[in-house]
Structure 1
Amino acid sequence: MRRQRRFRASRLGVMATLAVCGLLLATSARVSGGNDLRQADGDLAQLAAAQTRSAARKNSRIIDLQHQVDRLTAAEGVADGRVRAATNRAEARGRAAGLDAVHGPSLTVTLDDAPRGRPQPSGVTSDDVVIHQQDVQAVVNALWAGGAEAVAIQGKRLVSTSAVRCVGNTLRLQGRVYSPPYVISAVGDRAAMRSALGASKQLTIYRQYVDWVGLGWNVTSKDSDTVDGYEGPTELKYATVPHR
């Protein structure tokens, strides 16, 4: 009698297990829409590369359209004084917003990860041998503090809405992803900017790591250089409270 009950209990357990499996399979199929669920995760590196290419195409389209607007506005301003006056006001504001190129003497700071395969002292971790967001930001802040008129990272002009963000060991700026070395250039008083770099407490610590683990640090100057104007979108997007 006990054997029969065990058989029935076992059979009921198998049936319950199969029912649960069937429910899980049905739920999985419904969620995935018939596709492999692993595709949702995807390869993060490929996804980042695809998003970077998409952002570059869109940014290029924005630049082309802006150039068309500039040409049409200039042509209209020849015959219409009101358009010409409005254009002059817009150009003055554009210079203040960083939309125009700036020329003059420059400093360029290059940051890089420590060379791979370099023997490291005991206690060094993987975080110690790569460039971080705080390192790039420290250089930018020091250059601004030194009176820089214009600053660019990887040739991209920084404006008030620019945000320097590190994703893993890459830098995300204005919709694009960059790998080290990171090149930060600034036009302005070279002596004042160099002094500000030397006075930065964060960069003093960084230079200690240059000696300790081999992080890259190089400062060069030019008598005449150009930091191009910002060419990305200028429209601000921000969260709003929906009206009901």
Structure 2
Amino acid sequence: MTDRRELPRKRSVWRFGVPVVCVAAGLLLGTTYGVSGGDEIRRSDAPRLVDLVREAQQSVDRLSAEQGALALRFDNHHGGSPGAAAALTAMTDRGNALAAQAGLTPLRGPGLVVTLNDAQRDAQGRFPRDASPDDLVVHQQDIQGVINAMWSAGAEGIQVQDQRIIATSAPRCVGNTLLLNGRTYSPPYVISAVGDPGAMQAALAESPLVTLYKRYAVRFGLGYTEETRDVELVGHSESVRMKFAQPMGPLGY
């Protein structure tokens, strides 16, 4: 037999449980509608990962084909005809000739080697008492004076330490060291040049800056030597980029 005392409890649970479930279901449906914007969440036309990968691959293939066509067009334009090949050869020969003049290729021949060095201490380990620190070191203008004198005497090429001097080279003093093309050097500074040794020695003797340096060498013990011998210069190997230069017209305008 059924216990009459349990019936009211079961009716009470269903009375309150069903509305709660209905309210929860309504909230879930409302949230789903808000997220989907009124559209079906699991539509059959939603993009899949495999479709995205396939589209990306097709785009890559299309761009690769365009790149190949442009490369072929470029090759045909610059070297596809006998006239273009002859023009390219002429430009290459001209570039090789200018490379030698610009100091981009090694050079060897008779020349002169000048060595500059900071002052050395005497036997007692002392410098002259009336010397200031600037009097005892090689300065930027001293190196430039030697280089300019060599150029004025017709030097074919000049090298400082292990670097070739070209149009964009600029030796700089940083304390008692030399900065050249981003590299630092300590004394002694060796300046080598290919050219007429006699003409370069005469130009050095007439240079005001070199003459002044020689006086300091006698007074404070700075180092200065000249040596005539066969000289071998390296070619400038770094990239040559003109940051501010512009091409000139036929008349230089």
Q: Would the TM-score normalized by the shorter structure come out above 0.5? A: yes
Q: Distance in 2 between matches of 1:163 and 1:116?
A: 30
**Pick aligned residue for 1:102 from 86, 101, 107:** 107
Equivalent residue for 2:242? 236
Equivalent residue for 1:16? none
Matches within 5 A, 1:55-74: none
**Pick aligned residue for 2:98 from 90, 93, 102:** 93
Equivalent residue for 1:114? 119
Q: Distance in 2 between matches of 1:207 and 1:89?
A: 42
Equivalent residue for 1:227? 233
Deviation at 1:120, TM superposition (A): 3.3
Q: Which runs of 4+ in 1 moved over 2 A?
A: 80-86, 116-122
Q: Distance in 2 between matches of 1:193 and 1:119?
A: 35
2:156 counterpart of 1:149 = yes
TM-score (norm 1): 0.61
Equivalent residue for 1:210? 217
Q: Distance in 1 between matches of 2:174 and 2:128?
A: 26
Deviation at 1:151, TM superposition (A): 0.5
What amino acid maps onto 2:92 in structure 1? T
Q: Distance in 1 between matches of 2:94 and 2:221?
A: 49
Cα-to-partner distance string for 1:30-85 (whole Å, 9 max, x where unaligned): xxxxxxxxxxxxxxxxxxxxxxxxxxxxxxxxxxxxxxxxxxxxxxxxxx555433
Q: Distance in 2 between matches of 1:204 and 1:82?
A: 51
What amino acid maps onto 2:108 in structure 1? H
Q: Distance in 1 between matches of 2:114 and 2:147?
A: 9
Aligned-pair identity in percent equals 46
Secondary structure at the aligned position of 1:162 is classed as: coil
Q: Distance in 2 between matches of 1:144 and 1:167?
A: 24
What amino acid maps onto 1:115 in structure 2? Q
Q: Is the 8 A contact 2:99 2:105 kept in 1?
A: yes
Deviates more, 1:195-204 or 1:109-118: 109-118
Structure number with greater Rg is 2
**Pick aligned residue for 1:125 from 124, 127, 132:** 132
5+ residue gaps, structure 1: 1-79, 240-244
Root-mean-square deviation (Å): 1.9
Cα-to-partner distance string for 1:119-154 (whole Å, 9 max, x where unaligned): 333321111011110111111011111111100100
Secondary structure at the aligned position of 2:215 is classed as: helix
Q: Is the 8 A contact 2:112 2:231 kept in 1?
A: no
Q: Distance in 2 between matches of 1:178 and 1:122?
A: 28
Equivalent residue for 1:138? 145
Cα-to-partner distance string for 1:208-235 (whole Å, 9 max, x where unaligned): 111111101111111x322122111111
Q: Is the 8 A contact 2:120 2:127 kept in 1?
A: no
TM-score (norm 2): 0.59
Deviates more, 1:177-186 or 1:199-208: 199-208
What amino acid maps onto 2:166 in structure 1? V
